[in-house]
């Protein structure tokens, strides 16, 4: 009888140990799942911010380049219709820039540092956008000297510096989240890290596309008249 009691007690303790291990394993799995989701959010949000901001910058460069061409035609006394057509194209580029920048602003920030850099980038964006709109006004009024005297390049350089700094910040956050997902993949097996790898591949593809657009728009490298 006592032997049976000892066996029952041993089985009970073994069962309790198994339950505790299962609970601990479930807790670790849940924690890893939450961590993977958080990293995936950082990659997704960061990619959206980077893409929208880059496309906005491309549109601003297109507007600046188009306005330079319009100013050149105005200086050469070419038909006003040609100047007006280019100004209309510049306005369209500015509208696209606003659309993409509003998309950039609508994306949730994942850190306080991103919030601070967003405020700085927004301020320099609005200054450059305002300067380009002012150039359109100068051309409409025929004020060619004011058009040439405006320090547009300096304003553009300031926004470009903030643009580059923001992309460096976001790329750093994405890289850290990607590394964390890679660690989770190797630690937990293919099933644990598959989502992170898929996000990584999608992020790389978007980065290549955006980089291509930025490079294409930046080729003219517009200079102030």
Q: Domain boundaries in the chain?
A: 42-218
CA atoms of 91 and 94, how far apart (whole Å): 5
Contact 122, 105 (CB under 8 A): yes
CATH class of the structural domain 42-218: mainly alpha
Contact 225, 75 (CB under 8 A): yes
What pLDDT is attached to residue 180? 65
What pLDDT is attached to residue 43? 85
Contact 94, 137 (CB under 8 A): no
CA atoms of 173 and 167, how far apart (whole Å): 10
CA atoms of 158 and 72, how far apart (whole Å): 24
What pLDDT is attached to residue 112? 92
Q: What is the pLDDT along the chain (225 residues), one digit of tens a residue?
A: 444 445 556 655 565 565 555 555 554 444 444 556 666 878 889 889 999 999 999 999 999 999 999 999 999 999 999 999 999 999 999 999 999 999 999 999 988 999 999 999 999 999 999 999 999 999 999 999 999 999 999 999 999 999 999 999 999 888 887 766 665 555 554 444 444 444 454 555 455 445 444 544 444 444 444
Query: Which residue from 21, 43, 24, 23 is spatially nearest to 193, judged by alpha carbons?
Result: 43
pTM: predicted TM-score of the whole model, two decimal places: 0.69
Using a 10 angstrom Cβ sphere, with 0-12 exposed, 13-18 middle and 19 or more buried, the burial of residue 182 is middle
Using a 10 angstrom Cβ sphere, with 0-12 exposed, 13-18 middle and 19 or more buried, the burial of residue 214 is middle
Query: Which residue from 181, 83, 65 is spatially nearest to 141, judged by alpha carbons?
Result: 83
What pLDDT is attached to residue 16? 59
Q: In the structure encoding, which two tokens stand for residue 30, read together? A: 């849940």
């Amino acid at each position: 009888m006592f032997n049976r009691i000892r066996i029952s007690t041993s089985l009970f303790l073994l069962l309790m140990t198994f339950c505790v291990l299962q609970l601990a394993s479930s807790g670790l799995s849940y924690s890893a799942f939450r961590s993977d989701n958080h990293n995936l959010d950082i990659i997704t949000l960061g990619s959206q911010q980077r893409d929208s901001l880059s496309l906005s910058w491309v549109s601003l460069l297109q507007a600046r380049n188009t306005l330079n061409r319009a100013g050149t035609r105005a200086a050469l006394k070419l038909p006003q219709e040609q100047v007006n057509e280019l100004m209309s194209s510049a306005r369209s580029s500015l509208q696209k820039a606003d659309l993409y920048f509003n998309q950039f602003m609508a994306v949730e920030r994942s850190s306080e540092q991103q919030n601070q850099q967003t405020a700085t980038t927004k301020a320099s964006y609005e200054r450059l956008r305002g300067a380009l709109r002012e150039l359109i006004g100068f051309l409409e009024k025929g004020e060619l000297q004011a058009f040439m005297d405006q320090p547009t390049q300096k304003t553009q350089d300031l926004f470009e510096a903030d643009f580059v700094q923001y992309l460096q910040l976001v790329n750093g956050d994405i890289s850290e989240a990607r590394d964390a997902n890679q660690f989770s993949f190797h630690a937990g097996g293919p099933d644990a890290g598959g989502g992170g790898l898929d996000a990584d591949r999608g992020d790389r593809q978007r980065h290549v596309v955006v980089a291509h657009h930025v490079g294409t728009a930046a080729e003219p490298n517009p200079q102030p008249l």
